[in-house]
Amino acid sequence: MIHVIAYVKMKPGMIPKALDFYRVLLPKVFAAEKGCLEYSPTIDFDIGAANQNKDADTIIVHERWAAIDDFKAHLTMPHSAEFRASIKDFLAERITVTITQNAL
């Protein structure tokens, strides 16, 4: 299993617009991509912890894929390209990812 954490830094105030793009993308991912086990865009939930990282303009997407080839295929899907094209003007910086595998 592969875990992908995508960091999507938006221009100030653009989170609602970005979430609209994700609402269009998610059903397409789950319908067309057999290896997608989880695809969850998340936003800050401030609990006031002193050690909590906070960024109101960032979406963190938690993804789980059955295999790395499934994730690589996701990157080439037409709906993924459409999503990247639709969100690009609202990004503060390029989307970055951390890709991990189970350690135990």
Cα–Cα distance, 12 to 30 (Å, whole number): 29
Cα–Cα distance, 20 to 77 (Å, whole number): 19
Cα–Cα distance, 66 to 78 (Å, whole number): 20
CA torsion, ordered 78, 83, 84, 89, to nearest 10 deg: 140
> What is the structure's pLDDT at 7?
98
- More confident of the two residues 91 and 54: 91
What pLDDT, in 10s, does the model give residues 1-36?
999 999 999 999 999 999 999 999 999 999 999 999
**Domains of the chain by start residue, with CATH:** 2-45+55-101 (3.30.70.100)
Query: Looking at the whole model, is its pTM more than 0.85?
Result: yes
